[in-house]
Amino acid sequence: MDELEIDAVAEVELDDPVLVEGLPGVGHVGSLAVEHLLEELEGDSTLVRRIYSHEFPPQVSVEDGVSELTCAKLHAVTVPDGRDLLLLSGDHQAQTNEGHYVLTDAFLDIAEEFGASEVYALGGVPTGELIDEYAVVGAVSDESMLEALEDVGVEFREDEPAGGIVGVSGLMLGLGERRGFEAACLMGETSGYLVDPKSARAVLEVLAERLGFDLEYESLDERADEMEDVIGKIQEMEQQQQMDVPTDDDLRYIG
């Protein structure tokens, strides 16, 4: 296998599509969001590309005994009453710094091939504490995009996210801008400790309003309820432990 191999699974004609990226990251917000889109828009979506790379972990996933080599997948979606979509999903990000550059450029190459000039990178921004109100924090590659996103409720803050944005979502903005894309990153607030379907819903609501499509959230809400149960149990355990000496290990990443 070459360092990068792109399988053209199908060809679909799209009209000015929008690339939506949801690879794994903080709270799995981006991947939950894009997986939910794939589920809800299944009838209108086609797998068009598989992207294999030496930059992905040397790994297969296994389901019912059958293996699948790690890859990223691009689905084309013809949305009935809205903009066409290109949905980028997968189980892994690149494993090296250089790999993030190489793969993001490859993703943007394919998006260009399908006529896309606009990108939304979906993700989470960690707050370090459990959240009641799920704000969506934004970052854009160009000032001109601020207003339209503020209109649908995205918050732009003076110095946030403080450490910048790392990985494929960051480079969708950075490399996207250098290549003439209009790129935005939508980050749902999330504790950072747990897989967070509620944060994914907050991000999707903003995206749906911006791009003008309708979405059901039932299955995402069910996953959120399951996580609520997990959180409840963790909180219970924490209360019991508060009489003991607390340790650094009390809160672990469950992602």
Residues in contact with a second copy, counted by CB under 8 A, come to a total of 64
Report d(CA 28, CA 32) in Å as an integer: 6
233 in contact with a second copy (CB under 8 A): no
Q: Which stretch binds a second copy (CB under 8 A): 12-20, 40-48, 97-105, 109-117?
A: 97-105
Report d(CA 26, CA 166) in Å as an integer: 11
Least Cβ distance, residue 166 to a second copy (angstroms): 5
Binds a second copy by CB under 8 A, chosen from 11, 13, 16, 68: 68
215 in contact with a second copy (CB under 8 A): no
116 in contact with a second copy (CB under 8 A): no
Token pair listed for 151: 């209109």
Binds a second copy by CB under 8 A, chosen from 12, 47, 106, 146: 146
Q: Which stretch binds a second copy (CB under 8 A): 32-40, 75-83, 93-101, 218-226?
A: 93-101
Helix (H) or strand (E) holding 207: helix 197-211
Considering the complex, state which of residue 79 and residue 139 has its C-beta at the smaller distance from a second copy. Answer: 139
Q: Which stretch binds a second copy (CB under 8 A): 23-31, 64-72, 79-87, 203-211?
A: 64-72
Per DSSP, 41 falls in state T
Strands 182-190 and 136-140: antiparallel
Token pair listed for 237: 């355990």
DSSP state letters, 98-151: HHHHHHHHHHHHHHHHTT--EEEEEEEEE-SS--SS--EEEEESSGGGHHHHHH
Report d(CA 218, CA 40) in Å as an integer: 10
Token pair listed for 17: 């599509």
Per DSSP, 243 falls in state T
Considering the complex, state which of residue 87 and residue 183 has its C-beta at the smaller distance from a second copy. Answer: 183
Considering the complex, state which of residue 44 and residue 209 has its C-beta at the smaller distance from a second copy. Answer: 209
Paired with 170 in beta bridges are none
157 in contact with a second copy (CB under 8 A): yes
Q: Which stretch binds a second copy (CB under 8 A): 31-39, 81-89, 100-108, 220-228?
A: 100-108
Site string for a second copy, 170-189 (x = CB under 8 A): xx-xxx-xx----x-x----
Token pair listed for 194: 């747990």
Q: Which parts of 33-52 interact with a second copy (CB under 8 A)? A: 52
CB–CB of 181/115 below 8 Å? no
Residues 6+ apart with CB under 8 A from 249: none
Least Cβ distance, residue 56 to a second copy (angstroms): 8
Which residues contact a second copy (rule: CB under 8 A)?
1, 3, 52, 54-70, 94-98, 100-102, 104-105, 138-143, 146, 156-161, 164-168, 170-171, 173-175, 177-178, 183, 185, 248-249, 251-255
